[in-house]
Structure 1
Amino acid sequence: MPKAESKKQQMAAGAALAAKRGEMPESHLRGASKEMAKSMSEKELHDMAATKRKNLPTRESKD
């Protein structure tokens, strides 16, 4: 079960999931969310989007 590593990644997964479910047009996706929609299953996107945001950093660290 993939977990989001940052708030931005969690938000991108949520947008990709909405597009995959038909709740928003895929043409509205940009960048990471567009790639996620193409390469991940609906379950993977759901799991990533469902990650609690409380302790996530705003962005992934580049260490």
Structure 2
Amino acid sequence: MRNPFLRAMSRAWIPVLLRLLMPVLPPPTRAVQRKRRRALWPATVGVDLDRRNIHAGAAR
């Protein structure tokens, strides 16, 4: 689409179409928010909980 006006108009409709196509989800409960926050906390302070060796398949 070369016309900038049409490109902008199509971008403006994307959020509207997504809201129409997606089912309405209930807001997360406090327990869900707390669980998500606790799961993401180690990454914010730089703690790596992943025990996998990412270099295991690189040796040839």
Decide which structure has the larger Cα Rg and report it.
2
TM-score, normalised by the number of residues in structure 1: 0.26
TM-score, normalised by the number of residues in structure 2: 0.27
| Relative contact order higher in (CA < 8 Å, ≥ 6 apart) | 1
